Amino acid sequence: MTGDATIVWLRRDLRIEDNPALLAGAERGGPVIPVFVGRPPLEDAWSPGAAARWWLHHSLEALATSLEALGSRLVLRRGDAIEELLDVCERTGATAVAWNATSDASPTDAEATRRLAAAGIATRIEHGGHLFPPGSVRTRTGGPYQVFTPFWRACLARAEPRAPRSAPSRLRPAPTDVATLEVSDLGLLPAVDGAEGLREAWTPGEAGALAALERFVGDGVFAYAEDRDLPARPGGTSSLSPHLHWGEVSPHRAWHAAGQALRRDPKARRGVESWRRQLIWREFAEALLVAFPDTPDAPLRESFETFPWRDDPSGLRAWQRGETGYPFVDAGMRQLRASGFVHNRVRMVVASFLVKDLLISWKHGAAWFWENLVDADLANNTLGWQWVSGCGADAAPYFRIFDPVKQGRRWDPDGEYVRRWVPELARLPGSSIHEPGRASSETLAAAGVRLGVDYPEPIVDHREARQRALAALATMKEAAAAQA
């Protein structure tokens, strides 16, 4: 029935432009009631971590302001999502609920549809967060892709992703007496403010997302293919991952903005293709989570259930704090704590160090990233950690073990990245900064570095750790063979 009020249930689609669920509600002709339902923090294992909750708080504030400019109002609730939606339906006379699908939502789309339909509420599910709905890109035999490159090619063989749709110019307002919370009532911010680094690094919200996208496609995309592996390059990444995660910009807008950059200047081709691969990698992760929903808690490759991980609390703490004695690793972990972000190349190196040099389970690493990343995404976090650990889809083989010193010298040759995040080593020359233990006593003294005092000695010898990791792999294989 057209003309009736429609609830638009917002989850990870905190934007006005190119929001299919919001547009679907507007097209019905009646009042549109945007609703966000927060869950109590730590309600389950994958409630947003501290950094993501900080982002969500500020993103909701920005969204509320944008909706007010359209004549609407964001209704905020907390608790069981379906119960809260049904309450808003009852109080407003809304007869339909529209939302955009996500792969990691609780409740699931199927459960939400069933419970709302049982109450006589019509539902409409859109796909505003994906270029291709998860599960729609499948192999010739109908199964999910588990290797990225064939998935990428299959996506390119499909029709071009649709163009982004404009924001509605106006929304018919909901009744003003609908009970709503303030953003602060959701309890997303920590009791003690420690977010100075986050505020310096980020601007949550749709306006911040669109500004970041404009900067990237106007400049950064041209050198993206070359710069994306160099963490010291300030424009080497798009800085869009948290905006994409929270749906402050749609993947369709991002995809087509890159295409517009290419049409303006053919020199952008390599950068555009490289960045679009990252957008498709995001789709790949979502598709895998839909196909294998247990992977956040269990390895996709069942043989890794018997892997002999070590219980090493002191090693885990040193890794978390950026005090491993390996400067490139420590720089990445300190960047994470300070800014809620880690450069993608560095993510692979710090992850490899945890699971292979220290033999600590990938689950501990995934949990730490989840708590501290502003772009913490269940699908991408799971795929990334299982990729490095060798236990997931399209995984790097376990015997591929990154040397943290060589990685630092390759991707941070002048030591700029380390100097920024490990300032106690800032005066070391580039030839010594990635392995201060091999620097001469004169070099260390000139730089004001006392190993073991100002900066820790390495907590593990990489060569010995590599052999230990390979021995652990052999043990796992023997255990798997014995069970076969």
Residues with Cβ within 8 Å of 171's Cβ and at least 6 positions away in sequence, in order, are 22, 26, 31, 32, 67, 70, 71, 72
* CA angle centred on 19, ends 383 and 133, rounded to 5°: 40
Q: What is the pLDDT of residues 77-100, one digit of tens each?
A: 999 999 999 999 999 999 999 999
Q: Give the model's pLDDT for residue 412.
A: 97
Q: Give me the domain span that covers residue 223.
A: 130-163+206-291
Q: Give the model's pLDDT for residue 105.
A: 73
Mean pLDDT of 121-128: 94
Say what percent of the chain tops pLDDT 90.
86
Task: Decide if 172 is inside a domain.
Answer: no
User: Six-digit token pair at 463?
Assistant: 């060569």
> Contact, 108 vs 82, CB < 8 A?
no
Task: Decide if 168 is inside a domain.
Answer: no
Q: What is the pLDDT of residues 388-404, one digit of tens each?
A: 999 998 777 777 899 99
The CATH number linked to 246 is 1.25.40.80
Return d(Cα 422, Cα 94) in angstroms, integer.
55
Mean pLDDT of the chain: 93
Cα(first)–Cα(last) distance of the chain, in Å? 59
Alpha helix ranges (H) inside 292-393: 313-321, 327-339, 344-352, 362-372, 378-389
**Phi, psi dihedral angles at 244 (to 5 degrees):** -70, -40
The CATH number linked to 13 is 3.40.50.620
What would the DSSP string read from start to end of 390-444?
Answer: T-STTPPPTT----HHHHHHHHSTT-HHHHHH-GGGTTS-TTTTT-GGGS-HHHH
Q: Are residues 37 and 73 in the same domain?
A: yes
Q: Give the model's pLDDT for residue 108.
A: 85
User: Minimal CA–CA distance to 256: which of 290, 279, 284, 235?
Assistant: 279
User: Minimal CA–CA distance to 422: which of 345, 329, 342?
Assistant: 329
Q: Which of 261, 291, 321 is the last residue of a domain?
A: 291
Q: How confident is the model at residue 184 (pLDDT cuts 50, 70, 90)?
A: very high
Q: Give the model's pLDDT for residue 41.
A: 57
Q: Are residues 114 and 216 in the same domain?
A: no
Please, which residues bridge with residue 76 across strands?
Answer: 36
Per the listing, tokens 């699971």 go with 355
Q: Are residues 62 and 142 in the same domain?
A: no
Residues with Cβ within 8 Å of 474's Cβ and at least 6 positions away in sequence, in order, are none
Q: Are residues 351 and 422 in the same domain?
A: yes
Look at residue 37 and give its three-state secondary structure: strand
Say what percent of the chain tops pLDDT 70.
98
Query: How far from 107 is each of 34, 79, 87, CA to CA, in Å?
Result: 18, 12, 16
Q: Give the model's pLDDT for residue 399.
A: 78
> Contact, 374 vs 209, CB < 8 A?
no
Mean pLDDT of 158-168: 94
In the predicted model, is pLDDT for residue 1 greater than 50?
A: no
Q: Are residues 71 and 124 in the same domain?
A: yes
Q: What is the pLDDT of residues 297-329, one digit of tens each?
A: 999 999 899 999 999 999 999 999 999 999 999
Q: Give the model's pLDDT for residue 177.
A: 80
Task: Decide if 194 is inside a domain.
Answer: no
Q: Are residues 351 and 273 in the same domain?
A: no
Q: What is the pLDDT of residues 360-386, one digit of tens each?
A: 999 999 999 999 999 999 999 999 999
Q: Which helix (H) or strand (E) holds 63?
A: helix 50-69
Task: Decide if 74 is inside a domain.
Answer: yes
Task: Decide if 327 is inside a domain.
Answer: yes
In the predicted model, is pLDDT for residue 73 greater than 80?
A: yes
In the predicted model, is pLDDT for residue 104 greater than 80?
A: no
Q: Are residues 140 and 279 in the same domain?
A: yes
Q: Which one is predicted more confidently, 477 or 193?
A: 477
Q: Are residues 413 and 467 in the same domain?
A: yes
User: Minimal CA–CA distance to 103: which of 280, 279, 288, 253?
Assistant: 288
Q: Are residues 108 and 221 in the same domain?
A: no
Q: Are residues 147 and 250 in the same domain?
A: yes
Q: Give the model's pLDDT for residue 4.
A: 87
Q: How confident is the model at residue 266 (pLDDT cuts 50, 70, 90)?
A: very high
In the predicted model, is pLDDT for residue 235 greater than 70?
A: yes
In the predicted model, is pLDDT for residue 463 greater than 60?
A: yes
User: Minimal CA–CA distance to 308: which of 197, 469, 100?
Assistant: 469
Largest Cα–Cα distance in the chain?
A: 81
Q: Which one is predicted more confidently, 353 or 475?
A: 353
Task: Decide if 178 is inside a domain.
Answer: no
Q: Are residues 363 and 468 in the same domain?
A: yes
Q: Are residues 263 and 250 in the same domain?
A: yes
Mean pLDDT of 122-137: 92
Q: Which of 291, 319, 344 is the last residue of a domain?
A: 291
Q: Which one is predicted more confidently, 441 or 2?
A: 441
Task: Decide if 192 is inside a domain.
Answer: no
Counting every residue written for the chain, the total comes to 484
Q: Which of 80, 111, 128 is the last residue of a domain?
A: 128
Per the listing, tokens 């690793």 go with 329
What's the total number of domains in the chain?
A: 3
Q: Give the model's pLDDT for residue 3.
A: 61
Task: Decide if 181 is inside a domain.
Answer: no
